[in-house]
Amino acid sequence: MKRRFLSGLLLLSLFAALLPCPVRAADSANAMNISEDGISLIKGFEGYSQYPFADVSQWSIGYGVACNPDDYPDGVTLEEADALLREKLTDYEGGLNGFLSKNSIAFSQNEYDALVSLTYNVGVGWLNKSYRFWTMARAGLGNYTDNQIASAIGVWSHIGSTISTGLLQRRISEVRLFLYNDYSGENSTNFHYIIFNGNGGTIDTDVMLYRENEKYGTLTNAQREGYSFAGWYTAPTGGTRVTAGDTASANLVLYAHWSDQSASSDAQNSGFSDVSASDWYFSYVKELAEAKIIDGYTDGTFRPRTTVTAGQALKLILLAANCGEQAPTASHWASGYLSYAVDKGFIGASELSNLNSGISREKIAKLAARALGLSYSGTATPFSDTSDENVLALYQAGIIEGSIDSTTGKRMFHPEAVITRAEISKIIWKIRQQ
């Protein structure tokens, strides 16, 4: 598909701003060039036009090379179009090589070819630290999942503010080349896209890509002032709800559904004096309390910022995993839950010797993953501070996300840190979506 988003003048200005001294392919012994297979891929995407035609934002000829409408009155041959394409590609190679050199990043040939194709199609805009793929590449792509990398590339699928499904298909082909060295786009795991519509609210991103036949794991976040987010559905009203635990089997458009917080006093009431509708954890706490999964204290508070104890975590996780109520087996009210977890092999008795003390995030992950029977099918960890298989299993299932360090851009789990009652409410809510 022929798409150009930057005029020649804007392209040059962006190069000047982003890369003061661009490294052209011929200027450095370490610079890379697009391969013949990569050039063939771009030709397939762009198609050949003998005469100038009006593209999205410019006139183009040959394999999508910018021109003036009166240029080439006799058209160009296939050979001339090939030469024009190769000449233009040196600009994009130069910009990409400059970025790689400046940030000491090394890409394989297939990764490089995929990014040249992307840059030729959308311009050098992604070579900017305000965009995800730039940040991820600098932090090290080994810290991210295939879905995260694919989505960071897939966002470059807009014509203006509108998502183009044609461009999404091109992005998916480039992703399969980048991740799996698949120039054909037919010999590797496919991806499906979800286009998100905030339906009156704001969203973090309007498109994400997911590996076929795997659980989504993560859906984008949505917010709307005065409303509670009620989930993602296949229609603006009604439709089928789609959760992070569902499997990617088709391309979808999903719409946020909302509950009006002012519609009734019940919508505003969590049942706890210290949990209000404006709190990020409100809907999790309210729904879990109504389901009698969680409760508060005798004074009517929930104490969302209080550290979760080992006993509380045991009860919450086992109930959410449908293990049932457990009567005490010793003096502590949660002793029955510990006995059950130990008997089932979810955790060792010595790991939770004090049910009144805090519990680490890693032990919570172990309890939850084993209670749910989850295992990790991937090979690389998206986290910079853990490769624990239980943590990764929960991440793959969309139950935990970790956090992105604002300085390094790396995803962190903080395995030894304790967790608050508000934080575990979100985890328990997600477990119940499985």
Give the Cα separation of 372 and 364 in Å (integer): 12
* Residues in CB range of 312: below 8 A, 6 or more apart: 334, 421, 424
Q: Residues 36, 46, 186, 212: which is the catalytic one?
A: 46
Q: Taking the CA atoms of 332, 333, 334 and 335 in sequence, report the sign of the dihedral they define.
A: positive
Whether 305 and 422 have beta carbons less than 8 Å apart is answered as yes
Q: How many CB atoms lie within 10 A of CB 426?
A: 19
401 a catalytic residue: no
Whether 118 and 156 have beta carbons less than 8 Å apart is answered as yes
Crossing angle for the helix pair 146-154 and 132-139, to the nearest 10 degrees: 140
Give the Cα separation of 91 and 48 in Å (integer): 20
Residue whose tokens read 């008997």: 343
What region, left, alpha or beta, does residue 319 occupy, with left being phi > 0 and alpha being psi -120 to 50 degrees? alpha
How is residue 347 written in tokens? 């955790």
Question: Based on the number of CB atoms within 10 Å of its own CB, is 213 exposed (0-12), middle (13-18) or buried (19 or more)?
Answer: exposed
Active-site positions read 46
